């Protein structure tokens, strides 16, 4: 159950990169905009890409698909790597922070975190289940305060924490040969099938297109990537 409501992070790479760097992520990794999902536009994204983030509107079609997907997995099962880092989202409007934590936590073999709030959180979260990790984030003031500080920055007018928000951030990562969708509002990670570190961006783009196809009249989708900085 959500215990606090935050002002959401803006889908702005500059804001998100400042947030990550404040938490100890080095500047050689950065959030960048993905301007289109066709092969030509994807070719402009710096490589390697270690996470893809999707911001999308929560609609009736999305909720119906979410319920159907969960029921299918519960009935047929899915393989989930024991190495995947997944956490539940307990704080309203913290989906941007949760997506960024998922992006970093599943790439600690590539990201050399400095001593700071992110490294401490991930160290403390080792061995915990998804619910306990979500509860731990609620109590990690350094990360929550960084979210609050950066939520006041950006190019758009800062909303109130009480304003209704119908957009949601999720992350896609590669782990042990599979593409995982990490959504703190879902019951578990979603295994979308085989991928590689080289094809993560293209394979995640395919799933992003499926989100868009479920709401063909909706245009409020944003795709970003955590990639090697120039």
Identify whether 177 is part of a domain. Answer: yes
Identify whether 87 is part of a domain. Answer: yes
pLDDT attached to residue 159:
42
In the predicted structure, residue 166 carries a pLDDT above the cut 80: no
pLDDT attached to residue 150:
85
Choosing from 65, 147, 167, 168, which is the catalytic residue?
168
Confidence of residue 221 (pLDDT cuts 50, 70, 90): very high
pLDDT digits (tens, 9 = 90+) for 9-38: 788 999 999 999 999 999 999 999 999 999
* Residue 11, token pair as written in the block: 């889908």
Dihedral of CA atoms 21, 25, 26, 30 in degrees, nearest 10, equals: -80
User: Catalytic: 208?
Assistant: no
29: closest CA among 152, 118, 94?
118
Range of the domain at 195: 13-228
pLDDT attached to residue 14:
94
Choosing from 95, 102, 147, 174, which is the catalytic residue?
95
Average pLDDT, the chain: 91
Mean pLDDT of 153-181: 73
pLDDT attached to residue 4:
65
Cα separation, 204 vs 196, whole angstroms: 11
Portion of the chain with pLDDT greater than 90, in percent: 82
Q: Which residues pair with 172 in a beta bridge?
A: 52, 181
Identify whether 193 is part of a domain. Answer: yes
pLDDT attached to residue 119:
98
Identify whether 8 is part of a domain. Answer: no
Identify whether 68 is part of a domain. Answer: yes
Count of domains forming the chain: 1
pLDDT attached to residue 154:
55
pLDDT attached to residue 7:
76
pLDDT attached to residue 151:
82
Supply the CATH number for residue 78's domain: 3.40.532.10
- The backbone torsions φ and ψ at residue 224, rounded to the nearest 5 degrees and listed phi first, read -135, 165
pLDDT digits (tens, 9 = 90+) for 182-215: 999 999 999 999 999 999 999 999 999 999 999 9
Output the DSSP codes for 136-175. HHHH-HHHHHHHHHHHT-SSSPPPPTTS---EEEEEEEEE
pLDDT attached to residue 3:
55
Mean pLDDT of 125-140: 96
Identify whether 49 is part of a domain. Answer: yes
pLDDT digits (tens, 9 = 90+) for 51-72: 999 999 999 999 999 999 999 9
Confidence of residue 1 (pLDDT cuts 50, 70, 90): very low
pLDDT attached to residue 161:
39
Mean pLDDT of 151-173: 65
Residue of higher predicted confidence among 9 and 74 = 74
Identify whether 72 is part of a domain. Answer: yes
User: Catalytic: 167?
Assistant: no
Helices within the chain (DSSP H only) = 13-22, 39-42, 60-76, 95-105, 117-125, 130-139, 141-151, 200-214
In the predicted structure, residue 112 carries a pLDDT above the cut 60: yes
Identify whether 214 is part of a domain. Answer: yes
């Amino acid at each position: 159950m959500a215990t606090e409501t935050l002002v959401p992070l803006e889908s702005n790479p500059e804001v998100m990169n400042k947030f990550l760097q404040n938490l100890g992520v080095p500047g050689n990794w950065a959030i960048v905009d993905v301007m289109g999902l066709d092969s030509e536009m994807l070719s402009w994204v710096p490589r390697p890409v270690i996470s893809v983030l999707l911001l999308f509107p929560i609609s009736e079609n999305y909720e119906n698909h979410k319920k159907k997907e969960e029921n299918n997995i519960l009935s047929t099962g899915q393989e989930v790597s024991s190495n995947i880092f997944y956490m539940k989202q307990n704080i309203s409007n913290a989906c941007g922070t949760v997506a960024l934590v998922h992006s970093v936590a599943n790439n600690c073999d590539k990201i050399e975190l400095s001593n700071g709030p992110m490294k401490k959180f991930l160290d403390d979260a080792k061995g915990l289940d998804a619910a306990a990790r979500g509860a731990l984030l609620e109590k990690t003031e350094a990360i929550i305060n960084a979210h609050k500080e950066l939520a006041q920055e950006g190019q758009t007018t800062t909303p109130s924490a009480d304003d209704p928000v119908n957009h949601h951030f999720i992350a896609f990562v590669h782990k042990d040969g599979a593409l995982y969708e990490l959504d703190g509002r879902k019951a578990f990670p979603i295994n979308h099938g085989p991928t590689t570190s080289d094809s993560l961006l293209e394979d995640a783009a395919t799933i992003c297109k499926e989100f868009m196809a479920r709401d063909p009249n909706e245009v409020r989708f944003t795709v970003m990537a955590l990639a090697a900085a120039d």
